[in-house]
Structure 1
Amino acid sequence: MDNHDRGLAYDLKTLLNRRRALFLLGGASLTALAACSSAETTATATTTTVKACTDKIPEETAGPYPGDGSNGPDILTTSGIVRGDIRSSFGSASAVAQGIPLTIKLNLQKDCAAYAGAAIYLWHCDMDGKYSMYSQGVTTENYLRGVQEADANGAVTFQSIFPAAYSGRWPHIHFEVYPDLAQATSAGTKSVTSQLALPEDVCKTVYATSGYETSVRNMSQTSLARDMVFRDGTEHQLATVTGDVNSGYTATLTVAV
């Protein structure tokens, strides 16, 4: 018998069966599409994460005041250079750098993992834009210079003061990464030399306080886009800074080498 003339009951049953089949087929297709979409999202996220942790900190100049023996004096071989609080001079020097407190936290990474046991030599100018060991009036001082060994998480912390903006440069902090503490304290082979940039809004707030008056003028004459070091981009060098002028600030940066 043909399926054309089996009556209304048969036709309704057939129609319902077809709709059910289409519904199930549609659901299976949606599940498959969702699975594909989820897989693509996971793959994209994984690729982004890998890219982010393998993007290395740019190599930059150490500038004219490194104090590592490459341009004049070498502080790295001096007893006492390994320290977390770099605000005061040490050894035969005794001056203490004044300014808004700044805690500097750097997280060292290598091959997407914590770079435990590596060491950082860090230095920057004072609130007058002067570098100890080099600038007039502070050549016999060695404040705002120090070395720290990274802990098991690749972290190092320095207690310092907020540096000035001096003529021709955006506010910044210098650092060198060494494979281990022994090489850092003997001015050995460096893994990388780079610089950390400080964000504009925080700088303007700090420079509005007493003692930083010259920084206001100096900073107004430059920008990150024009700075000789940072004009090619600060994606991996601009620190995240939190805090306020009363309690001090904390600058944080991940450094992949």
Structure 2
Amino acid sequence: MTETQGPAHKKDMTRRRAVLAGGAAIIAAGVGAGVVASASADETTSSGTGKKSAGGQGEECYRLTSETTEGPYYIDADKIRKDITEDTEGIPMTLRLKVIDSDTCKPLKHAAVDIWHCDALGVYSGYESMSSGGPGGGGTPPSGAPTDAPTGVPTDAPTGTPPSGGPGGGGGGHTEPTDDKRYLRGTRLTDKHGYVEFKTIFPGWYQGRCVHIHTKVHVGGKMTDAGYEGGRTCHTGQFFFAESAVLDSAKVAPYSTSTTTRTTLTEDTIYDQSGVTGGLMKLSYRKNHMARGVVGSITMGVDPDETHDGTDL
């Protein structure tokens, strides 16, 4: 399934619940008056009937956080770090994530959380040569190019017929990196409270997809000199952003220089329109001063006993 295809039929998840992120969101200290909380001013933030968590922390529990396709541009967790910017230009963003067991609502400690996303102009590290003219280039992907192609006007759908098992295959396929760049990619372990934090930039957009960040949660493995190894992937998902925040980012350079047609949140075929359960983040930033920085937070409810590597949809 390519990344532009809609989510496949979801398995019955009534046994599982996901946490309502509003109860676990962390707002940056000292942000002050005039803060825009775009958690989802225009989106539903919960679904179903909640009940108190077994963890005893007063959080409201709902369904499992939605699983999505991995997409073609995942690179294994070999960059263990908090700051993934590598001086990439864009609006500074702090991601504050919490991972819980969706059955018990208890924090999931020592889980490895991967995140990766494109830069302000839609380019993914590791795949720069797939764009015409390099990073930020405005060319068209070559025929057969994979669908998350970072071209400045990349698409998530191949322009030609993909080879068997290649990009566009089941679960989005996987494309081998074309260079050794790794900006805007990183992995960290959750602490004993299930929290993990990353320093990055607000992602840009490319043709065919709304603004998003990819994520994976791994359990049962261990840290090595080469990165996180072993275990299994219990969650593959994506984070999304309220349309109002994306419009605010589009006023700031270099986002404002993009001429790429933007797909809105409601038009996207990966986001399932379920609010926080579907990966919609809570964002906080100073009104009319988004360029100074954004804090994004969400709680992911995962099933540590399952395997969801993005190819099982």
Aligned to 1:104: 95
2:305 is equivalent to residue 234 of structure 1 = no
Q: CA deviation at 1:61?
A: 0.7
Separation (CA, whole Å) in 1 of partners of 2:220 and 2:274: 29
Decide whether the 8 Å contact of 2:96 with 2:298 is kept in 1. yes
Aligned to 2:52: 49
State TM-score, norm by structure 2: 0.57
Q: CA deviation at 1:152?
A: 1.2
2:112 is equivalent to residue 87 of structure 1 = no
Separation (CA, whole Å) in 2 of partners of 1:98 and 1:180: 35
State TM-score, norm by structure 1: 0.69
Q: Deviations over 1:72-115 (max 9, x none)?
A: xxxx2x4xx11100001xxxxxxx31100010111110121111
Separation (CA, whole Å) in 1 of partners of 2:230 and 2:90: 29
**Which of 1 and 2 has greater Rg?**
1
Aligned to 1:223: 264
Task: For CA contacts below 8 A with separation 6 or more, give which structure has more relative contact order.
Answer: 2
Q: CA deviation at 1:212?
A: 0.6
Q: CA deviation at 1:199?
A: 1.3
2:207 is equivalent to residue 167 of structure 1 = yes
Instruction: Report the AA paired with residue 67 of structure 1.
Output: I
Aligned to 1:13: none
Separation (CA, whole Å) in 1 of partners of 2:266 and 2:52: 27
Q: Deviations over 1:157-186 (max 9, x none)?
A: 000001001111010000100115617712
Q: Percent identity?
A: 31
Decide whether the 8 Å contact of 2:220 with 2:232 is kept in 1. no
Q: CA deviation at 1:233?
A: 2.9
Instruction: Report the AA paired with residue 124 of structure 2.
Output: Y
Matches within 5 A, 1:20-169: 48-50=51-53, 52-68=60-76, 76=77, 78=78, 81-88=79-86, 96-110=87-101, 111-136=104-129, 137=134, 139-169=179-209
Separation (CA, whole Å) in 2 of partners of 1:125 and 1:152: 30
2:242 is equivalent to residue 199 of structure 1 = yes
Separation (CA, whole Å) in 2 of partners of 1:200 and 1:47: 26
Change (3 A) 1:181 1:255: same
Aligned to 2:285: 243
Change (3 A) 1:228 1:214: farther
Decide whether the 8 Å contact of 1:173 with 1:197 is kept in 2. yes
Secondary structure, counterpart of 1:98 in structure 2: coil
Q: CA deviation at 1:223?
A: 2.4
Aligned to 2:15: none
Instruction: Report the AA paired with residue 233 of structure 1.
Output: S
Q: Deviations over 1:8-54 (max 9, x none)?
A: xxxxxxxxxxxxxxxxxxxxxxxxxxxxxxxxxxxxxx953349425
Instruction: Report the AA paired with residue 208 of structure 1.
Output: K
Instruction: Report the AA paired with residue 64 of structure 2.
Output: K
Q: Which runs of 4+ in 1 moved over 6 A?
A: none
Secondary structure, counterpart of 2:214 in structure 1: strand
Decide whether the 8 Å contact of 1:133 with 1:141 is kept in 2. yes
Change (3 A) 1:153 1:216: farther
Structure number having the greater helix percentage:
1
Q: Deviations over 1:213-246 (max 9, x none)?
A: 3557532xx2222212114533311100001324
Structure 2 unmatched runs, 5+: 1-48, 54-58, 136-178, 303-313
Aligned to 1:190: 233
Separation (CA, whole Å) in 2 of partners of 1:67 and 1:85: 17
